[in-house]
Amino acid sequence: MSEAATFLVKYLREAGFKTASRDLGDCFIVSAQRGSNVYLVGISRGSMVDVYVAKVAVPELLGSIEWSCEAIEYSPYGSYVLEKELEKLAEGVVRNFEILDRVYRSSTQRS
């Protein structure tokens, strides 16, 4: 699983994001920032199938709790990427950043 987090961090940095990652044992959390937007990604291995599972979330919708794999996993706000290939996983994560911006951030900016 560390190979997925390492690959994602490298991919995001090359795409212009500032990143940080943390190994929490059962998963990795990667935070990525570009401009004023911050994203969280929880990365783990699938328990039923052999794929990488990435849950992408925006931290402002998690509330004021400590970021953990469970907090990201059980948040109703966010989206999943399930992939066997690391390149496709990273592309899916970035695509989900854009989707989350349109769905969550654009609606809060209009309020």
Q: Give the 3-state secondary structure of residue 109.
A: helix
More confident residue, 9 or 72: 9
Q: pTM of the entire structure?
A: 0.85
Work out the percent of the chain whose per-residue pLDDT is above 90.
52
8 Å CB contact between 31 and 73: no
Of 88, 90, 98, nearest in space to 13 by CA: 90
Q: What is the mean pLDDT of residues 21-38?
A: 90
Q: Which of 33, 32, 23 is nearest to 3 (CA)?
A: 23
Q: How far apart are CA 71 and CA 98, in angstroms?
A: 21
Residues 57-96 have pLDDT tens digits of 988 877 766 778 888 888 888 899 999 999 999 999 999 9
Q: pLDDT higher for 25 or 52? A: 52
- Give the contacts of 48 (CB within 8 A, at least 6 positions apart): none
Task: Report the distance separating Cα 22 and Cα 31, nearest Å.
Answer: 9
Percent over 70 (pLDDT), the chain? 90
Q: Which two structure tokens, joined as six digits, stand for 100?
A: 């989350």
Q: Provide the 8-state DSSP code for 16.
A: T
Choice between 45 and 18, residue whose per-residue pLDDT is larger: 18
> Which among 15-24, 63-72, 95-104 has the top mean pLDDT?
15-24
Domain boundaries, the chain: 2-105
